Amino acid sequence: MAAKIIDGKQVAADMRAELKAEVTELKQKGIVPGLGVILVGEDPASQSYVRAKERACEEIGIYSDDNRLSADTSQEDLMTLVEKMNNNPKINGILVQLPLPKGLNEAEVLLTIDPDKDVDGFHPTNVGKIVVGEKAFLPCTPHGVIQLLLRSGVTIEGANVVIVGRSNIVGKPLANMLIQKNSKGNATVTVCHTRTKDLASHTKRADIVIAAAGRPNTITSDMVKEGVVVIDVGVNRVEDATKKKGYRLVGDVDFEAVKEKASLITPVPGGVGPMTITMLLYNTVESAKRAAGLVT
């Protein structure tokens, strides 16, 4: 079976159009959703993420308060800025771009963010709420993965899902979301990681494989069954002298071979990537509606 490619750019564009219409309606009620963005240091990948976030905010009409701080910013100054955003009613969501430069305490910064403005869904309060099935901001990449599945017509309920990777940003929260007793969950979930014995024995049984390991070719065609749905969260740079930048981006999946066996598969780039920022916009709009008392 040759797979149908899931077009993440198109799904993201559809969702952004829905959000733009919602923001236009909110503005008619005098509500302007606002996102505070903090980037510390000069990591090129982080800079390009943050630029894309700012462009996306502008595109759908979200106010964006952008802060670029030097790599030698103190923990205290960073926390003071987060506190200022916590107390600023114009800001509904706060995003501190990770990873922070060495020497800064990431966990302490994330704890300082008001959980009601934690549009990344990284605060332990929101992580805990997801675990016990309470309403919370859903972390953006895992939520983007679920939206791609649902909007591609994939049945999550009852599916055997194998997640490869146990990061705090993707693997762990995604597993917690997929086992919930709700319309985005009810799956049977296995989480595999670097210490898993015989990874292929797990992935071969999967109806849905979600690769979030951060390593090219983690999933090859001999490791999946015919008709599998494959979501590739990986973004890896591999050297490529034919490219102007000297590298190209690949996922964690051997795309060319696996697509011949899968029923549905996401490409890299153009799969999960465009969804992450879209879900951040979604959470920011949701937060503005909550702050205005329009939703609970």
Which residues are known catalytic residues? 53, 97, 120
Among candidate residues 293, 280, 279, the one with its CA nearest the CA of residue 35? 280
**279 forms part of the interface with ligand GUN (CB under 6 A):** no
Q: Which amino acid makes up residue 55?
A: R
Q: In Å, how far are 70, 128, 190, 211 from 193, measured between CA atoms? A: 35, 22, 10, 10
**Cβ distance to ligand GUN smaller for residue 98 or 154:** 98
Stretch that binds ligand GUN, among 18-26, 55-63, 91-99, 151-159 (CB under 6 A): 91-99
- Token pair, residue 176, equals 């917690």
Which one-letter amino acid corresponds to residue 296?
T
∠ CA(147), CA(257), CA(229), 5° rounding?
25
Contact 152, 106 (CB under 8 A): no
Q: Which stretch binds ligand GUN (CB under 6 A): 96-104, 127-135, 232-240, 261-269?
A: 96-104
How many Å separate Cα 172 from the centre of its chain? 12
| Per CB under 6 A, 112 contacts ligand GUN | no
Q: Which of residues 22-81 bind ligand GUN (CB under 6 A)?
A: none
Amino acid at 181: K
Q: Residues with Cβ < 8 Å from 175, sequence gap 6 or more?
A: 163, 189, 191
CB of 296 to ligand GUN, least distance (A): 25
Strands 63-69 and 208-211: unpaired
Q: Which stretch binds ligand GUN (CB under 6 A): 2-10, 89-97, 227-235, 265-273?
A: 89-97
With respect to ligand GUN, which residue has the nearer C-beta, 99 or 227?
99
74 vs 168, which CB is nearer to ligand GUN? 168
Q: Does residue 119 bind ligand GUN (CB under 6 A)?
A: no
What six digits make up the tokens of 171? Answer: 């693997």
CB-nearer residue toward ligand GUN: 102 or 244:
102
**Spatial separation of the C-alpha atoms in residues 272 and 203, rounded to whole Å:** 20
Q: Does 120 bind ligand GUN (CB under 6 A)?
A: yes
Number of shown-chain residues binding ligand GUN (CB under 6 A):
8
Could you say whether residue 149 binds ligand GUN (CB under 6 A)? no
The reply to whether 98 sits near ligand GUN by the rule CB under 6 A is: yes
Query: Does the protein bind ligand GUN through residue 97 (CB under 6 A)?
Result: yes
Min dist CB 280 to ligand GUN, Å, is 7
Binding to ligand GUN (CB under 6 A) within 121-140 occurs at 140
Take residue 42 and report the two structure tokens written for it.
């000069």
**Pair 265, 5: CB distance under 8 Å:** yes
Side-chain half-sphere exposure of 123, counting CA atoms within 13 A: 19
Output the residue with the shortest Cβ distance to ligand GUN: 98
What is the nearest approach in angstroms of ligand GUN to the Cβ of residue 97?
A: 5
| Site of interaction with ligand GUN (CB under 6 A) | 95-98, 120, 140-141, 276
